[in-house]
Amino acid sequence: MDGGRVEEAVVELWNNRTSPSPIPMQPNVEISSSVNLVSVNAVLIIAERHHGVFFNETPPPPKQKMKWEDWELPYYATAIMAVLLLAVGLSVKRDTRIETWACKQALERPVAEEEE
């Protein structure tokens, strides 16, 4: 099957879908000839099933804000505090690498030998 026939078949599948989509989407017209029509049909079915909305939530009407759920404020506040605590805590953490210890020892030994 050549690329033109695959493209026509995809467009035909797209135009014959059963449920209307709230978000207008166009099929990809640059499809290679190796595309399997079964996989293209599966992608179209998945796109129709989810209707292009995030977490299956319907968007609010125009010029209205989405209401927050009860769990959202404590969740976001805890996440922000955890990120800040990690950022501050990790930035002031002591350097306990063995390379740092070895460097200090290498600088102290000649000084100690000169004093003796």
Residues 39-60 pLDDT 10s: 666 666 665 555 556 666 777 8
Q: What pTM value is reported for the model? A: 0.42
Domain contains 51: yes
Domain contains 67: no
Whether residues 8 and 48 fall in one domain: yes
pLDDT score recorded for residue 32: 52
Domain contains 64: no
Whether residues 47 and 7 fall in one domain: yes
Containing domain of residue 43, as a range? 3-56
Domain contains 18: yes
Q: Where are the alpha helices (DSSP H) in the chain?
A: 3-15, 37-50, 72-91, 98-115
pLDDT score recorded for residue 80: 98
Domain contains 66: no
Whether residues 9 and 52 fall in one domain: yes
Domain contains 62: no
Spatial separation of the C-alpha atoms in residues 11 and 18, rounded to whole Å: 14
Residue 79 has pLDDT above 90, yes or no: yes
Residue 26 has pLDDT above 70, yes or no: no
- Helix and strand numbers (H, E) in the chain are 4, 0
Cα distances (angstroms) measured from residue 12 to each of 9, 16, 46, 64 = 5, 6, 17, 37
The full length of the chain comes to 116
